[in-house]
Amino acid sequence: MYPKISIIIPVYQAENYLSRCLESLLTQTFSDFEVILVDDGSSDKSRMICDEYALKDSRMRVFHKENEGVSNARQYGLKQAKGEYIIHVDPDDWVSSEMLFELYQIAVEENADMVICDLIKKYRNKTKYIIQKPSRLDHISILKEIITGKLHGSLCNKLIRKACYDRFTIKFPSNMNVWEDSYVCCNLLKNDIKISYLPKAYYFYDQYSNPGSATRRISLSKVESQKMFIQSMEKEFEDTDFIECLYYKKSTTKESAFLSGFYSDIEICELYKEINSRYLREHLHFNSINNICGFCVCLLLKGHGWIAKILRDVAYSEIASKFKSFV
């Protein structure tokens, strides 16, 4: 008999928090599940911890492989999964004991292909509840809200019918190390799937235990992954509505490129240069230096060359005149 749910966990150098994650899964009130632990070439004690839990509980299935990155690890886990539904859990996070039972209950009652729930961000000294209620439950509306950042693209707060991955030939891109889950989620949502929403939070998104997390540091590979995501979406959607949605992704990628230190002023200026004028209009506020967003402070201090070029290109005289008082 195949399990009702497969939980995929990509594991890499997670010895400090992996046990916390796995213990939260062992407390589930729903028992018909399997855990696919994909050890992506860890050199710490993660390998040993995975093996120990596999001996403790037969529902834990462990696969050790050479290091190829989180996207490849997720795809490997997807190939091994036997469940009717799939959910992803990251090794530095944890979940509440009711998560699988209540998500699966809604999936069955409403015959849903995807069930979305809220999540909780855990900081060292505070907790933040993140509501993930879509404005509408049709696939295009949710796709737009993920692209614009109104909803998380994470697969960790979404129970998804495995048949959807197979039917629409959805795969994780091998050369992305961030946004790979958003990439897959958005590609699923290109299709007319049945979606439900459960207004409860089960997933605890740890914001402090893993300072080396790829989502919290800016690297060249992260920026390139962001660019790949945007390129893939642009190929699919060329209408004005989706071009507007992609503005958010392009602006955050432009910021990441600047802060990474790997791009020259001219390269940053040329990256999505069609948004330069709008970005400056929306983010440069000169009423007070404290009102200028952090990124724009960096621009003022370091990015004079390409900002000046943008100002010349867009002939935005009001900003140009006020800009002079800060340089």
Q: What pTM was estimated for this model as a whole?
A: 0.84
Q: Are 307 and 299 in contact (CB under 8 A)?
A: yes
Averaged pLDDT for residues 53-75: 97
pLDDT of residue 245: 84
- Work out the pLDDT band at 14, boundaries 50, 70, 90: very high
CB-based burial label for 143 (10 Å; 0-12, 13-18, 19+): buried
- For 5-216, CATH number out of 3.30.450.20, 3.90.550.10, 1.10.3720.10, 3.30.70.580 equals 3.90.550.10
Nearest by Cα to 93 from 43, 159, 32, 25: 25
- The whole-angstrom separation of Cα 253 and Cα 62 is 35
Averaged pLDDT for residues 68-91: 97
Q: Which residues contact 13 (CB under 8 A, 6 or more apart)?
A: 42, 43, 44, 46, 212
Q: Domain limits of the chain?
A: 5-216, 220-326
Q: What percent of the chain has pLDDT over 90?
A: 60
- The whole-angstrom separation of Cα 247 and Cα 242 is 9
> What is the CB neighbour count within 10 angstroms for residue 98?
15
3-state secondary structure of 81: coil
Q: What is the pLDDT of residues 284-309, one digit of tens each?
A: 654 444 444 444 544 444 444 555 55
* E strand residue ranges, 68-191: 85-88, 94-95, 114-122, 127-130, 158-161
Is 154's pLDDT higher than 70? yes
Provide DSSP, 146-163: HHTTSS---STTEEEEHH
